């Protein structure tokens, strides 16, 4: 039993490896369910074992699809909107108040144990509660936190934008020609979008040759 759990845990680590737009995580789930599940599916990789436990008990494909989508929502809430902002806030507190760096271990331990415990015990939980799991999201206790925790990222992104502006101003202050190159790059980016990199590549080659000749 313990060996099986271990095997499932290891397989669940590979669920996202063959992710592609056409099938999403289907190859990963094929491996996880030993070929039993062979349909388009998208879930949160941290909740993969819960979903595979659910699949083992439920044959209705529609229900599996709905549950996988719900798990993707929960995953976003739990990891993107709660756990990662907490980690960021701890780093910020350490940075501002110059607290000991070992304090950074706390969010890591939280992240490590929560994700891997979910992976390890998820299969049994999913299989045992397959009938009641449809209400999974409504009883999700982290839901209450999502109103304020994720907002920190907007605040920090504001800081990030101004920091980039600050760096650019620092460069502008040092070299006048940068204004022309900056405007040229902005124009190329707007006009050519993805092809702007060809321009960047040509610019790089020209600059390298120029420096080689001048030196």
Partner 1 sequence: MLFQSLISEPVFIFPVLSFFLKINFDHSLLFLLLIFQTLSIFSLQLGKVSPPNFQMGFVSSLLTYSFLKYPLSFSILVGIFSSLIFGYFYVLKRKINFYLSKNFEIKLALILSILITFFSYLFFLLLEYFLLKNFHMFKIQKDSILIISIFLILAQIKYTKVNKKLGTILFFVGTLIGLFLCLKININFF
Q: Which of residues 167-206 bind partner 1 (CB under 8 A)?
A: 167-168, 170-171, 174-175, 178, 181-182, 185-186, 189, 196-197, 200, 203-204
In the bound complex, what is the minimum distance in angstroms from residue 130's beta carbon to partner 1? 24
CB closer to partner 1, 76 vs 134: 76
At residue 14, the 3 state secondary structure works out as: coil
Residue 111 lies near partner 1 (rule: CB under 8 A): yes
Q: How many angstroms separate the CA atoms of 79 and 60, rounded?
A: 28
Can you tell me which of 113, 142, 155, 195 binds partner 1, judged by CB under 8 A?
Answer: 155
Stretch of 51-59, 62-70, 80-88, 127-135 contacting partner 1, by CB under 8 A: 80-88
Per the CB < 8 A criterion, the answer to whether 44 and 75 are in contact is yes
- Classify residue 68 by burial, with Cβ atoms within 10 Å: 0-12, 13-18, 19+: buried
Residue 3 touches partner 1, criterion: CB under 8 A: no
User: What is the closest distance, in whole angstroms, from the C-beta atom of residue 10 to partner 1 in the complex?
Assistant: 9
Sequence-ordered list of residues with C-beta below 8 angstroms from that of 13, at least 6 positions apart, any chain: 119
Find the binder of partner 1 among 61, 66, 105, 198 (CB under 8 A).
105
Closer CB to partner 1, residue 57 or residue 201? Answer: 201
Among residues 27, 56, 140, 145, the one that binds partner 1 under rule CB under 8 A:
27
Is 45 a residue that touches partner 1 (CB under 8 A)? yes
CA 82 from chain center: how many Å?
A: 12
Task: Choose, by CB under 8 A, the member of 42, 69, 115, 134 that binds partner 1.
Answer: 115
CB 88 within 8 A of CB 60: no
Residue 132 contacts partner 1 per CB under 8 A: no
Q: 118 near 47, Cβ under 8 Å?
A: yes
Cα distance between residue 107 and residue 7, in whole Å: 27
- 32's CB contacts (< 8 A; 6+ apart) are 8, 11, 12, 15, 48, 49, 52
Q: Which is nearer to partner 1, 116 or 129 (CB)?
A: 116
């Amino acid at each position: 039993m313990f060996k099986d759990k271990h095997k499932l845990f290891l397989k669940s680590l590979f669920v996202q490896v063959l992710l592609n737009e056409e099938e999403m995580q289907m190859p990963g789930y094929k491996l996880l369910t030993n070929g039993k599940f062979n349909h388009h599916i998208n879930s949160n990789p941290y909740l993969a074992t819960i979903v595979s436990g659910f699949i083992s008990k439920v044959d209705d494909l529609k229900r599996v699809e709905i549950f996988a989508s719900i798990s993707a929502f929960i995953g976003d809430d739990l990891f993107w909107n709660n756990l990662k902002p907490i980690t960021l806030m701890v780093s910020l507190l350490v940075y501002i108040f110059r607290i000991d760096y070992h304090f950074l271990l706390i969010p890591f331990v939280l992240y490590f144990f929560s994700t891997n415990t979910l992976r390890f015990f998820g299969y049994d939980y999913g299989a045992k509660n397959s009938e009641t799991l449809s209400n999974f999201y409504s009883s999700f206790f982290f839901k209450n936190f999502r109103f304020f925790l994720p907002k920190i990222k907007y605040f920090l992104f504001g800081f990030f934008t101004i920091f980039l502006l600050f760096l650019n101003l620092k460069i502008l202050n040092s070299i006048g020609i940068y204004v022309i190159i900056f405007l040229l790059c902005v124009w190329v980016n707007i006009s050519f979008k993805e092809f702007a990199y060809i321009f960047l590549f040509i610019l790089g080659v020209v600059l390298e040759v120029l420096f080689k000749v001048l030196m």
